[in-house]
Amino acid sequence: TVPYVPYKVKDISLADWGRKEIELAEAEMPGLMALREQYGKEKPLKGARIAGCLHMTIQTAVLIETLVELGADVTWSSCNIYSTQDQAAAAIAAAGVPVYAWKGMTEEEFNWCIEQTLFFGEDRKPLNMILDDGGDLTNMVFDEYPELAEGIRGLSEETTTGVHRLYERMKKGTLVMPAINVNDSVTKSKFDNKYGCRESAVDAIRRATDTMLAGKRVVVCGYGDVGKGTAASFRGAGSIVTVTEIDPICALQAAMDGFEVKRLETVVANADIVITTTGNRDIVRGEHFKAMRDKVIVCNIGHFDNEIDVAWLKQNYGNTHVEIKPQVDKYTIDGKDVILLAQGRLVNLGCATGHPSFVMSNSFTNQTLAQMELWNNKDQYENKVYMLPKHLDEKVAELHLSRVGAELTKLKQDQAEYIGVEVEGPFKPEYYRY
């Protein structure tokens, strides 16, 4: 086991500030607050020891306190070295939750933090549930602490990249517990990935650089959910947006949405900003860097930092490096400056504060439902990747309607019969794509 450290944050005196922000966020997170209201007395997560590894932000603090309110013991680390909001971590630590997270940690500290979350309290009881974002906690348990897997009822995974890793494990037969894919709930990927990035992509560039976005040429690599939101974000700011894609369907979608679709090679020389959203590796490489104009801004909003070949930049031009401010770095390639944000790590959490609370409430309501389901009904699941049933997806959406003043039309019985659904839903077949 790991020796007991009650918590580790940047500065516990930030807790009061964090608490005030958490209270504001609660008002924007109706899904989570409804779950507290509905299940707070019953405590369906009683006995659960949930280790979570997900950006330690204000919104995540509201998730953590929801899990606690539902009866769980919780430990927490952040799934990115730059994404912690130190006031959020402090508030959570002050509330008695063992949290190990601060903004700007090293990779070594990152692993140390995740490791701390595996064992609970002074009696070092092991975790029995995993809540993950990107799969780093899952990998640590599966690969370094396999003896713990048997005692774990299941895991829920937040993001596209982590979900890929789980399906790979399922294919190889190395998935040793049931998993719920939270990302592909409609109320997650079609909201957080898309509308979340529509708000937070531009926010990140502004906070990092204060550059004028109107009239600038922006290349968005990838037009999946994150790419769609990111491209819309820059369009909304008046930028001229070009999209790159490998998938003809997404390429055509981008074209129909009015974006120019080109190869990076074709447009990189004129780009003012290049942003990767693919969840794939090696998108921006040495040859692209060499073709870029002076003062280009380069960043990534996908989960891992391998979308941009930062290693190439450091290896060849590391001697030109100047830190403008934390998470904003300048490199000079043959007389032309490149501004690299968040060292190529996800920019909206590295240089800004991630998505707004309201959209995260949708994601985290799915997370909480997934944890409740696996904790209470483990026997109904094999060691496979599952999704939450559609009626829960619809319920998550419904919990968020009144906050935006939306009136839902009630289906009549004969109408329901006419389109072949139940009056109470689900309202769409499984194959419907939204």
Phi and psi torsions of 100, nearest 5°: -130, 90
Q: Is 350 annotated as a binding residue?
A: no
Q: Which of 246, 311, 322, 324 binds ligand NAI (CB under 6 A)?
A: 246
Q: Which of 186, 221, 204 is closest to 356 using CA atoms? A: 204
Exactly one of 69, 86, 181, 188 is catalytic; which is it? 188
Using alpha carbons, list the distances in angstroms from residue 2 to 101, 124, 272.
17, 8, 47
**For 19-41, b where at least 16 C-beta lie within 10 A, e where not — what string?**
bebbeebbebbbbbbbbbeebee
Indicate if 185 belongs to the active site.
no
Q: Round to whole Å and give the CA distance between 87 and 235.
A: 32
Minimum distance of ligand NAI from residue 377's CB (angstroms): 27
- The DSSP result for 225-290, as a single string, is HHHHHHHHHHHHTT-EEEEE-SSHHHHHHHHHTT-EE--HHHHGGG-SEEEE-SS-S-SB-HHHHH
Indicate if 164 belongs to the active site.
no
CA 98 to chain centre: 21
Nearer to ligand NAI, 45 or 274 (CB): 274
Indicate if 139 belongs to the active site.
no
Here the tokens at position 276 are 């990767």
Q: Which stretch binds ligand NAI (CB under 6 A): 36-44, 102-110, 241-249, 379-387?
A: 241-249
Query: Is residue 152 at the binding interface for ligand NAI, with CB under 6 A as the rule?
Result: no
Minimum distance of ligand NAI from residue 264's CB (angstroms): 7
Query: Is residue 250 at the binding interface for ligand NAI, with CB under 6 A as the rule?
Result: yes
Q: Which stretch binds ligand NAI (CB under 6 A): 109-117, 142-150, 225-233, 379-387?
A: 225-233
Q: Is 162 annotated as a binding residue?
A: no
Nearer to ligand NAI, 250 or 271 (CB): 250
Cβ-closest position to ligand NAI: 224
Exactly one of 26, 86, 132, 192 is catalytic; which is it? 192
- The DSSP result for 92-149, as a single string, is HHHTT--EE--TT--HHHHHHHHHHTTEETTTTEEP-EEEESSSHHHHIIIII-GGGG
Q: Quick check: 266 and 286 in contact, CB under 8 A?
A: no
Nearer to ligand NAI, 30 or 134 (CB): 134
Query: Is residue 342 at the binding interface for ligand NAI, with CB under 6 A as the rule?
Result: no
Spatial neighbors of 416 by CB under 8 A, at least 6 apart, are 422, 423
Nearer to ligand NAI, 225 or 393 (CB): 225
Nearer to ligand NAI, 97 or 347 (CB): 347
Exactly one of 53, 79, 113, 197 is catalytic; which is it? 197
- Please give the positions annotated as active site: 55, 78, 83, 133, 158, 183, 188, 192-193, 197, 303, 355, 363, 367
Which residues contribute to the site for ligand NAI (CB under 6 A)?
159-161, 189, 192-193, 196-197, 221-227, 244-247, 250, 277-280, 283, 301-303, 346, 348, 355
Binding residues for NAD(+): 159-161, 193, 222-227, 245, 280, 301-303, 348
